[in-house]
Amino acid sequence: MGKLNIDVNLIHWLLLNLIIMLGAFLRFYDLGGESYWYDEIIMLRVAQDNICTIVEGGRPPIYIILAHFWIKLFGTEEVATRSLSAILGVASIPLIYLLGKELFDRKVGLIAAFLMAISQFQIYYSQDFRYYSVFVLMTLFSFLFFILALRVRSVTYFVCYVISSILMFYTHTFGVFIIVAQAIYFILKSRNYGQLVALWFLSQVLILLALLPRIINYLFKVNTGNIGPRWLPDPPYWTPLITLQNYVGAGLDYPSWQTLTIGFLFFFFGILLFALWKGKDRWVESVGRLSRDISDLSTKRDELLLIGLWLLVPILLPFILSKILRPMYHYRYTIAASPALYLFLALAIAKFRKVIPELISVGLILIVIAPGLHEFYVAPVREQWREAAKYVEDNSTIDDVIIFADAGKDQNRATFNWYYRGALSECGINKHLKDYAAIDKEFVKCMKDTGRFWFVVREVPSPAHYLTEFFLSNTKRNLKLIRERRFTKITVYLFQMM
C-alpha cells in the first residue's frame, strides 16, 4: 500500500486563504448593523469637502482622500463607507503573514495572521469609518520594506520604505513613533549595516522633509499649549498593560474569572492529554530540550529587537509624553504597535509546540477572547444615534423642542440629525458651562413659547454633568421628568415645564 503524499505547501496556502476568508467574514459581518457614531459623522462631513480643503484641514489626509472618492463611488450608507476600512483590514492579514515569514518562518506568519484575523480590536477598527485600518496597513508596509531594504540592500526597497512611511504618518500622526522605533533599531545595529548608513540617512532626511509641515504645526501647538485632544484624561500607570490586553481582543469586561477558569482547565488538561498521547518519557524529553530550542532564538536577536521596539516605542513614548506635556494617549492611537504583539505571541506558540501543541495555545486564546467577540456581535457597542433619533420621532408632539448638550460646534446635533427625520425646533447649550445662571440664560432662549423639551446628551467621553443636573434638580423652572431612555452612550430625557 503506497504512502499518502501530502503537499505541505498546498496545505499551507489553503490554511492562509482560510484565515484570510475568516478575517474577511468577521470584518464584513453585520457591517451596517449599528448606526454611525460621533467621529464617523465627522469623517463623513470632512470627506465630502473638496480635496484642497481636505489637505489644508489639519487632519491626516490619506484616509480622508480615500474616503472622499469612496463616497463618490458607493454613497454614504453605513455598509458602503465602512467597507473601505473592512477591505483595508482584510489586506493587513496576508501582509502580517509575509512579515512573520520574513522575520521567522511560515508557521509564525500563519499564526500571526490568524491572531490578527480574530482579534476583536482589529475587527472593531476594520468596521469603523476612520483612519485606523489603513494606519495598520501602512505600518505593515513600512516595516516590510524596512526589513527588505536592510536584507536585500536594494535602493528600490528603500524608496518603497520612504513612500510607505510618509503615507503612514499622513494617515495618523502617531506614525511618527513607528519611524522612531525603526530609527532606534538601525542606530543600535548600524555596525551590521555599514554600507547602508548613507542610504538610510538619506531616507530619514527625505521622510523628515515630507513630515516637516505637520511637525512644525505640531511644535506650534506645543508652544501654545494646544497639544493633544482636550478630552483625553491623564492615563493611569497601568494603561500600557490594558492596551496590550485590548490588542488581543480581550478588552472591556473580558476576560471574566469564569472565562479564565475555563481557559486554565482547557490548557491544563490539554497539555496532560498531549503528554499521555505522546508518552510521558518523550514529553519530558521535549521539555528538557525546550531550553535549547529557546536558546536557538539567539540567531534571531535582531528580529526580536526589531519587533520589541515596534511594540514598546509606540506605546511607551506617547505615554511618557502624556505625563510630561499633556494627555495625548489613547489605546486606539497606538494600534500600529499591535501587529508586533501578534508576532511575539505567534513566535512563542511556534517555539513551544513540542511541549504545548499549537491547537492548545490557540484554543486558550480563543476561549479568552470568545465572550468579548460574541458580545461585540450581539450587543451594541457604538453610540446609538439612529435609535435615539427614532425614539424622539415616535414620541414627540409638534410643539416640542430638542435641546442638545453641545460644546459649541453643534456636532452632537449634526450626528443626531443624520438619522432624525422629524421637524422639531432644535437648540444647543454648551455642555461645558458650569454656572447655573449661564445655563438658565441659554435655556430660556431655547424654550421660547413651548413648555416641553427633549434633552439629548452624549455620555462619552465627557458627560454633561452640570447640564444634566441643572435639568434634573431645577426647582426655579419647576421641571418634571416625563421620560428617560438610555441608549448605548447616549441618554434622551423628556421634560415638561409645570
Are 280 and 411 found together in one domain? Answer: no
Residue 316 lies in a domain: yes
Are 466 and 342 found together in one domain? Answer: no
Q: Which residues of the chain have pLDDT under 70?
A: 1-6, 218-230, 250-255, 407-409, 462, 475-476
Residue 401 lies in a domain: yes
Residue 68 lies in a domain: yes
Residue 297 lies in a domain: yes
Residue 176: the pLDDT is 94
Residue 289: the pLDDT is 75
Are 82 and 171 found together in one domain? Answer: yes
Residue 5: the pLDDT is 53
Eight-class DSSP state of 193: G
Residue 165 lies in a domain: yes
Residue 3: the pLDDT is 47
Domain with 319 in it: 8-378
Are 159 and 300 found together in one domain? Answer: yes
Angle CA(331)–CA(334)–CA(340) in degrees, nearest 5? 120
Residue 454 lies in a domain: yes
Mention every residue, 6+ apart, whose C-beta is less than 8 A from residue 210.
166, 169
Question: Strands (DSSP E) along 281-354, which ranges?
Answer: none
Are 347 and 366 found together in one domain? Answer: yes
Residue 1: the pLDDT is 41
Residue 1 lies in a domain: no
Residue 90, all three cell numbers: 482584510
Are 226 and 324 found together in one domain? Answer: yes
Strand order in the sheet with 425-430: 425-430, 401-406, 452-458, 490-497, 479-487
Are 340 and 415 found together in one domain? Answer: no
Are 390 and 374 found together in one domain? Answer: no
Mention every residue, 6+ apart, whose C-beta is less than 8 A from residue 389.
416, 417, 418, 419, 420, 421
Residue 118: the pLDDT is 94
Are 202 and 283 found together in one domain? Answer: yes
CATH of the domain at 424: 3.40.190
Q: What is the DSSP string of 100-153?
A: HHHHT-HHHHHHHHHHHHH-HHHHHHHSSSSSHHHHHHHHHHHHHHHHHHHHH-
Are 411 and 438 found together in one domain? Answer: yes
Long-range contacts of 284-291 (CB under 8 A, 24+ apart): 286/354, 286/355, 287/355, 289/354, 290/352, 290/354, 290/355
Count of the separate structural domains present in the chain: 2
- Tell me the residue type at 346: A
Angle CA(387)–CA(370)–CA(232) in degrees, nearest 5? 55
Question: What is the model's pTM?
Answer: 0.92
Residue 19 and residue 96: Cα distance in Å, rounded? Answer: 12
Are 126 and 169 found together in one domain? Answer: yes
- Residues 199-228 as b/e (b if ≥16 CB within 10 A, e otherwise) read bbeebbebbeebbeebeeeeeeeeeeeebb
User: Which residue matches cell numbers 454611525?
Assistant: 36
End position of a domain, from candidates 356, 378, 400: 378
Residue 3 lies in a domain: no
The answer to whether 201 and 298 are in contact (CB under 8 A) is no
Residue 225: the pLDDT is 52
End position of a domain, from candidates 378, 393, 415: 378
Are 334 and 479 found together in one domain? Answer: no
Residue 232: the pLDDT is 81
Residue 117 and residue 143: Cα distance in Å, rounded? Answer: 19
End position of a domain, from candidates 351, 378, 405: 378
Residue 89 and residue 134: Cα distance in Å, rounded? Answer: 7
